[in-house]
Amino acid sequence: MEEAWAEMKRNISLANRVNKSNEEVASFHVELKKALHLAVTWCRVERKRKRTETLKPDLSDESVLHAARFTDNLPLADYAGILHLAPRLVNVVTARIWA
């Protein structure tokens, strides 16, 4: 926890720093690159962890048909004038369900 707190304080200091000389600018760029590399590395690790933990959705025909019963009574007529704005993917999925 202390390490995270210290890292946060360093990042805040880095974000609020006003550089007055070329040496400070060079130092700032080095620290900024380190902070950026660290953040990207953490994001990649977390993304990989999340992908391994996430269950793959069941997209079988049976599953889709089972879920479709929840949309049968939606008042789609209310949206008749703007259905052309719906993404094409929705239209393709709808066509596949009814095919």
Separation of alpha carbons 64 and 69, rounded Å: 9
Q: Give the DSSP letter of residue 57.
A: P
Q: What is the pLDDT of residues 57-85, one digit of tens each?
A: 888 888 888 887 887 777 777 777 877 77
Q: What is the pLDDT of residues 19-42, one digit of tens each?
A: 888 888 888 889 888 888 988 999
Q: Give the DSSP letter of residue 2.
A: H
Question: Which distant-in-sequence residues (6+ apart) come within 8 Å of 17 by Cβ?
Answer: 24, 28
Predicted confidence at residue 35, as pLDDT, reads 85
Predicted confidence at residue 36, as pLDDT, reads 87
Q: Is residue 87 scored above 70 in pLDDT?
A: no
Q: How far is CA 68 from CA 23, 55, 61, 89, 98, in A?
A: 63, 21, 10, 16, 10
| Contact between 58 and 87 (Cβ < 8 Å) | no
